[in-house]
Amino acid sequence: MASDLDKASDKAHGPLRSFGRIKARPIKPRQAALVDTLLPRIAVPDPANGPIDLAALMPGASEAWLEIGFGGGEHMAAQAARRPDVLVIGCEPFLNGVASALRHVEEQQLENVRIHADDARAVVDALPDASLDRVLILFPDPWQKARHNKRRLVQDETIAAFARVLKPGGRLRFVTDWADYADWALERLDRSEAFGRLDADQDWHVAPADHVVTRYEEKKLGDTAPIFLEYERR
């Protein structure tokens, strides 16, 4: 039976929540201060208020990337530091992760990061057609039990939504350390006419050249070495 939290989240975010816990341990005082001061300055406008204007978020940005579920923010911050010309939007509902990411943004003085501390699907729905150059999904909640598979982020509906917001030639990267989720994503992405897999003959355990290893990845919590799937918007 669904918990009250699940029911409340379903009302707020659609039929099913695709992520687990919202907060674990207490947030450190420094990071809590950043939630109060830095987050309001770099937060993505509330998607409930209407379409998101990417040009207003970072005038003159050469590209716009979306990272869904950035965890502690190490990968997002590293990518943003490498490409200060790119607007990097990160979505993460886990408050401890948001607080950690804010610390990275402050320490590296990143001016090209914008954060949505909630469900990424609301942001995707509010983005204009063909507005993103990249979508990055790294180690999403695997929802391993068969009865929970319907909660996985990667579904036919979300793949269609990613296709809508990606520019032709835009890239979608999916990374997981659970073999069953890799097969699940591969099946759904391959049957989408909007996407074509890149380097299909390459060992899927080989990380792309620009991949950044995170603390989560180093913990090796899944049942396989990380699997990398890279697709292009046709």
- Percent of the chain's residues with pLDDT above 70: 90
pLDDT in tens, 104-147: 999 999 999 999 999 999 999 999 999 999 999 999 999 999 99
| Cα separation, 120 vs 13, whole angstroms | 9
Query: Tell me, what's the pLDDT at 26?
Result: 87
Which residue segment(s) compose the domain that 113 sits in? Answer: 4-233
Point out the residues that are catalytic.
Answer: 141
Q: What integer pLDDT is reported at residue 14 of this predicted model?
A: 53
Per-position DSSP letters for 87-101, written without gaps between them: EEEEE---HHHHHHH
pLDDT at 20 over 90: no
Give the confidence band of 207 by pLDDT, cuts at 50, 70, 90. very high
The reported pLDDT for the residue numbered 22 is: 55
Structure-token pair, residue 207: 């990380």
- What's the angle, vertex CA 47, arms to CA 90 and CA 62, rounded to 5? 50
Residue 16: per-residue pLDDT? 60
The dihedrals phi and psi of 196, each to the nearest 5 degrees, come to -125, 135
Helical ranges in 129-211 per DSSP H: 156-165, 179-190
Average predicted confidence (pLDDT) for the chain:
91
- The Cα 222–Cα 65 span in angstroms is 26
Number of domains making up the chain: 1
Q: What is the pTM of this model?
A: 0.89
Query: Per-residue pLDDT averaged across 13-28, rounded?
Result: 61
- Of residues 35, 2, 13, 207, the one with CA closest to residue 125: 13
Cα 173 from Cα 97, distance rounded (Å): 20
Q: How confident is the model at residue 5 (pLDDT cuts 50, 70, 90)?
A: very low
Q: Answer for the pair 79, 67: CB distance below 8 angstroms, yes or no.
A: yes
Query: Is residue 136 packed enough to be buried (19+ CB in 10 Å), middle (13-18) or exposed (0-12)?
Result: buried
| Residue 3 pLDDT exceeds 80 | no
CATH of residue 174? 3.40.50.150
